[in-house]
A and B are shown apart, each in its own frame.
Chain A
């Protein structure tokens, strides 16, 4: 798949056309992984075999593997679910081709690993000291965005089942049930970070594969309903420099300056 250089509306450095991307798979990969990778415009390589261009690591969601994938010169980690690369987001791969960072995990793995901490460590490693000031805010916003994507996005835990005294037992029960659900727990959570070359901003997006939601109307309602719902979203809106939704609310795009 050819990626063309588009004029960027958000002041992000233009991408390099046709930048190759290699998927590095430690155990060689099973089934139709070669075909799946090819459909995403990637070739496969064993560790140490990759040549030129960016490379994404893929495999089971084991912490050491995730950390290796997110470390320079890698551009991220993609968990191989029971269906391999199925449902991997095209947008995430585009970010990887442009030198950004990608973490794509099933909901089950995103829940059981310290997803936020892994991503924050990778961001601290990548950003020059002069651009690290925003990372305190990034940590709060990214934490809330992951939480929303896992609970309300992919696991479809309804917003009214808030964590409160009355609902806590029910909330726990629903979370447990949904994490056991093969379909819901295999949906992907994808986190991407773009590091614009010239602009003093960092763009972080969190995607889920749930039913989506109307971000604009939620943002409009939050002024008087802060305590009851959307507390995480209200925090994000308060702290980041820019916020918008894409893909019918399944992707939350946050800009930090």
Chain B
């Protein structure tokens, strides 16, 4: 997984690329570190470039959500592809996360 972070004032835009899966741990930790100083922001995780997400990757999203909540920030999942959206729905993650398409 690769990511790019763009601070847009009230919100932070994060584009994710590749696969958010069991092999993405270290990259995801890098993302969390980079988001560490963002307080009270809306973090938009743009999933348009994600080709796949697995249950480990979903676990990482929950970690990010909890991490960001401590800093008063919220997470929005944006533009998931059909297969990624299906996974979010199958695991009922769509009930926890706001999803924008």
Interfacial residues, chain A to chain B (CB-CB below 8 A): 111-112, 114, 116-117, 136, 139-140, 143-144, 146-147, 150-151, 162-165, 168, 171-172, 175-176, 231-232, 235, 238-239
Contacts and interface: CB of A to CB of B under 8 A. Distances in A.
Interface stretch (B7-15, B37-45, B62-70): B62-70
A162 B91 contact: no
Contacts of B34: none
A167 to B, nearest CB: 9
Contact of B19 (A114, A171, A231): A114
A235 B23 contact: no
Nearest to B64: A165
Interface in B1-44: 18-19, 21-23, 25-26, 29
A33 to B, nearest CB: 29
B72 interface: no
Given A136-B86, A143-B52, A231-B55, A112 B23 contact: yes
- Indicate the size class of the contact surface on chain B: 20 to 34
B60 interface: yes
A165 B67 contact: yes
A235 B59 contact: no
B100 interface: no
A116 B21 CA distance: 10
A235 B92 CA distance: 12
A232 B55 contact: yes
B51 A117 contact: yes
5 tightest Cβ-Cβ pairs between the two chains A and B: A163-B59, A147-B22, A143-B54, A232-B55, A231-B55
B63 A235 contact: no
B62 A164 contact: yes
B47 to A, nearest CB: 15
A116 B25 contact: no
Contacts of A114: 18-19
Given A140-B87, A140-B90, A165-B67, A175 B25 contact: yes
Given A140-B90, A165-B67, A235-B91, A147 B54 contact: yes
B71 interface: no
Contacts of A164: 59, 62-63
Given A117-B51, A163-B59, A163-B63, A172 B19 contact: no
Contact of A163 (B56, B87, B91): B56
Contacts of B62: 164-165
A39 to B, nearest CB: 33
A253 B27 CA distance: 31
Given A139-B52, A143-B54, A231 B91 contact: yes
Contact of B83 (A111, A140, A144, A163): A140
Given A139-B52, A239-B90, 5 more contacts: A117-B19, A136-B86, A140-B83, A151-B22, A172-B25
